[in-house]
Amino acid sequence: MRTPITLLALLGLALAQPGQAQAPEPVGSRPQQFTQTSRIVVPLRFDAYYTYEQVGEALRALAAAFPELAQLEVVGTTEEGREIWAMTVNNPKTGAPLTKPGVYVDANIHGNEVQGGEVCLYLLNWLLTGYGTNEQISKVVDRNAFYVIPVVNADGRWHFFHDPNTPSSGRSMRVPRDDDRDGLVDEDFPDDLDGDGSICRMRKKDPFGQWKADPEDPRLLLRIKPGEKGEWTILGEEGLDNDGDGKVNEDAEGYLDGNRNWGWAWAPPYVQEGSGDFPFSAAGPRAVAAYIMARPNIIATYALHNNGGMFLRGPGTKADEPMDPQDVAAYDLLGKNAEKIVPGYRYMVSWKDLYPTYGDFDSFTYAHAGAFSFVTELFQTTAETYRPPDPATPAPAEDDDSDFRPNPERERERLKFSDHVAQGDLFKPWAPFKHPQYGDIEIGGWVKMSSRLPHPFMLADLVHRNAAAVLFAAAETPRIAMEVLSTEKLGAGLHKVRVRLGNSGGLPTRTFQTVGKRTAALDTLTVRGASVKVVAGGKLTDPYLEQVEYKDHKPEVQMVHVPGYGKVEYQFLLSGTGDVTFAFTSLKAGAVSKTITLP
């Protein structure tokens, strides 16, 4: 049984010393943890999971191995005092990070959704070890700044590995909350009764129960149909009535959902469970949002979650529809290609194809950071197969993880997968247990490191493909080239000059929402020359029919937006002679300039 963490915090106990390397746990002490067991060295391995401490070790190892390209920093501290780490990958020889299109990736904002942390580590390891050996990797490292936060919910990841859990528990930020409203906080949590490191399920023999054993695989329970005789009552997750209120496990640690606590379309908890008292009330989202807002060059963000195999984009609620169609097109470019890079994953609209969410990460970063933002739901249990090689057999539908639509066929296949592919690692056989309150019961079911997490042998594929989806986006960030198309003498010392800004990346220099809703100042194209006056200047909308939207005031500064795979052209009427410099300065697409000499 665990001591409630809030009590420890009150007593001022230091829970962890995350800045320091900690010895890995002895091998075999925690069955089915699937964590790294050897010393962590570069290149990193992806045949097992990294605990919170091991993520720190891995990041420090990368920073030490690539001191020029990789910078490790602490962006904040969690409720329980753990560090939240960020690593920047940038080649200083090609410019400071803020002068390049930024690609941001984070993971594990839900404590139990750990494998995103491995995708982050894989991406970092790939960028750093691939630089100078792989041409494409070298290109993105030279051209982009990568910002990676492998573990947002540092407390959550720590507890997920160190405490007994279900595959779904430990999601919350560690903000104490009185779930059962009895005046006590976090006092009735699940208990690992059989001490195996997992919170499984409890069942009790009961002729009046609503469940029976599946005749094909008795480990599985099926809801009885009218007229059938029951065998079992499901008592819920493994645990005790710790606070003696007649309920079991009704007030576990948390609950504040890190992905409902952001400052866009935030709604209080009575509208949506877990949003917290106010936007950014939790330490992690607050620190991470500040980190992102301080890096306005970020133009693409990925937040890695599990599970179901989805590339989700906003809006999070219907109220934010319609999204600007040109932004949808940019999202489609990334989303539809991501679907191909990671087979089985679907590109979806969050509120419509999944469910509405208020105060989520990707709606916030789209609106306020002006970044194309995805939430990736990593892993599909449909990848856990045990079936004949019959191409005519369609793949079974994905579980929707809700149990509202039981899918016994899939469950049977997953059990066989556990038996024969994972050697029983994923399912704990039902075993008798003497429960202090329920008497003779059985404990069994899917273990912590199952259901939402790939078995380690599938991890390498998952981390590689999902990191590749991020690299696809990086390659599509805006790349602006400037051409001075023509200069023409109009007489009386007046020159006509045309300048083109072309984008060879698929993403625009800003989201179209930024332009349409006027949420931020755009980029500038400035014209400067010591003996040159800008008489007129504006956007050239038709070069053949000479249609120019001349700007009424300050023609020497043009506010500019360049679409993906597109161009914009400007025409200036200049008087004077000598050097004149055209400079494009972008928040998210770097800077480029050209100087010509007027005769």
Residues at the contact surface with another protein, assessed by CB under 8 A: 4, 6-7, 10, 178, 181-185, 201, 234-237, 243-246, 249-250, 263-264, 266-273, 277-281, 317-318, 351, 355-356, 358, 364, 367-368, 400, 402-405, 517-522, 524, 526, 552-554, 557, 559
* Smallest distance from another protein to CB 264, Å: 6
The residues with which 539 forms a beta bridge, in sequence order, are 549, 570
* Smallest distance from another protein to CB 558, Å: 9
Task: State which residue, 34 or 570, has the beta carbon closest to another protein.
Answer: 570
Neighbours of 172 (CB within 10 A): 24
Task: State which residue, 351 or 427, has the beta carbon closest to another protein.
Answer: 351
Task: State which residue, 445 or 456, has the beta carbon closest to another protein.
Answer: 445
Strands 102-107 and 145-149, sheet pairing: parallel
Task: State which residue, 83 or 257, has the beta carbon closest to another protein.
Answer: 257
Q: Is the peptide bond before 150 cis (omega within 30 degrees of 0)?
A: no
Strand, helix or coil for residue 197? coil
Task: State which residue, 280 or 372, has the beta carbon closest to another protein.
Answer: 280
Instruction: Report the C-alpha gap between 120 and 151 in whole angstroms.
Output: 9
Q: Are 394 and 410 in contact (CB under 8 A)?
A: no
* Smallest distance from another protein to CB 36, Å: 32
Instruction: Report the C-alpha gap between 238 and 328 in whole angstroms.
Output: 45
Task: State which residue, 176 or 309, has the beta carbon closest to another protein.
Answer: 176
Strand, helix or coil for residue 483? strand
* Smallest distance from another protein to CB 414, Å: 16
Task: State which residue, 48 or 536, has the beta carbon closest to another protein.
Answer: 536
Strand, helix or coil for residue 86? strand
Helix then strand then coil, in percent of the chain rounded to 5, is 25, 30, 45
* Smallest distance from another protein to CB 553, Å: 5
Task: State which residue, 169 or 337, has the beta carbon closest to another protein.
Answer: 169
Query: Residue 83 is which amino acid?
Result: E
DSSP letter at 227? T
Task: State which residue, 458 or 520, has the beta carbon closest to another protein.
Answer: 520
* Smallest distance from another protein to CB 108, Å: 22
* Smallest distance from another protein to CB 468, Å: 31
Instruction: Report the C-alpha gap between 109 and 146 in whole angstroms.
Output: 19
Kindly provide the b/e burial profile for residues 419-437, where b requires at least 16 CB atoms within 10 angstroms of the residue's own CB: bebbeebbbbebeebebee
* Smallest distance from another protein to CB 270, Å: 4
> Which among 101, 146, 100, 98 has a CA at the least distance from the CA of 123?
146
* Smallest distance from another protein to CB 260, Å: 9
DSSP letter at 230? P
Query: Residue 514 is which amino acid?
Result: T
Task: State which residue, 163 or 250, has the beta carbon closest to another protein.
Answer: 250
265 to 349, 403, 547, 550: CA distances (angstroms): 16, 29, 41, 38
* Smallest distance from another protein to CB 271, Å: 5
DSSP letter at 237? E
3-state secondary structure 406-455: CCHHHHHHHHHHHHHHCCCCCEEEEEEEEECCCEEEEEEEECCCCCCCCC
* Smallest distance from another protein to CB 554, Å: 6
* Smallest distance from another protein to CB 503, Å: 21
Task: State which residue, 318 or 420, has the beta carbon closest to another protein.
Answer: 318
Task: State which residue, 267 or 475, has the beta carbon closest to another protein.
Answer: 267
**Sheet holding 494-503: strands in order across?**
480-491, 494-503, 567-576, 532-542, 547-550
Q: What is the DSSP string of 295-327?
A: -TTEEEEEEEEESSSEEEES-SSGGGPSPPHHH
* Smallest distance from another protein to CB 49, Å: 25
Residues 6+ apart with CB under 8 A from 225: none
Strand, helix or coil for residue 183? coil
Task: State which residue, 260 or 465, has the beta carbon closest to another protein.
Answer: 260
Task: State which residue, 51 or 363, has the beta carbon closest to another protein.
Answer: 363
Residues 6+ apart with CB under 8 A from 159: 111, 165, 170, 174, 253
Q: What is the DSSP string of 59-120?
A: HHHHHHH-TTTEEEEEEEE-TTS-EEEEEEE--GGG--GGGS-EEEEEE-SSTT-THHHHHH
Q: Integer distance in angstroms from the first to the last C-alpha of the chain?
A: 84
* Smallest distance from another protein to CB 304, Å: 23
